[in-house]
Amino acid sequence: MELSIILTFTTLFCVMFLFIGLIGGWIFKQYQVERIYGIRNIHPEFLDNNGNIIPDEVLAVRFEEGFFDDEEYDDNEDEED
C-alpha cells in the first residue's frame, strides 16, 4: 500500500480512539465518584440538614416590597406620551 493511505488511516484511528478514550474515561470517572463517595449532582435546596433528599415538593417564592413599583418599571407609558 502507499504510505499516504497508511498514514491517513493511522491518524484517523488514533484520533477516533482518543475521543473514545476521553468520553469513556469521563463516564467512568462520574460512575466512580457516584459509587465511592455517593455524590449526586443535586441542588442543595433539595437536601435537609443531614444531606438526605427532602421527600416533599420544594417551592420557595419571595417578592420584595417595592420591586414591582409602577413608577420605576413602567417606562413604556412615559415614552409614548
Domain extents in the chain: 3-80
Q: Which residues pair with 53 in a beta bridge?
A: 47
Give the pLDDT score at 69: 57
> Does residue 60 contact residue 45 with C-beta atoms inside 8 Å?
yes
Give the pLDDT score at 12: 97
pLDDT tens digits for range 51-80: 777 777 667 677 776 666 555 555 555 555
Q: Is 47 exposed, middle or buried (0-12, 13-18, 19+ CB in 10 A)?
A: middle
Give the pLDDT score at 25: 96
pLDDT tens digits for range 5-55: 999 999 999 999 999 999 999 999 988 888 887 766 677 777 888 877 777
Does this model's pTM top 0.75? My answer is no
For 61, phi and psi rounded to 5 degrees?
Answer: -130, 130
For 62, phi and psi rounded to 5 degrees?
Answer: -135, 125
> Does residue 49 contact residue 37 with C-beta atoms inside 8 Å?
no
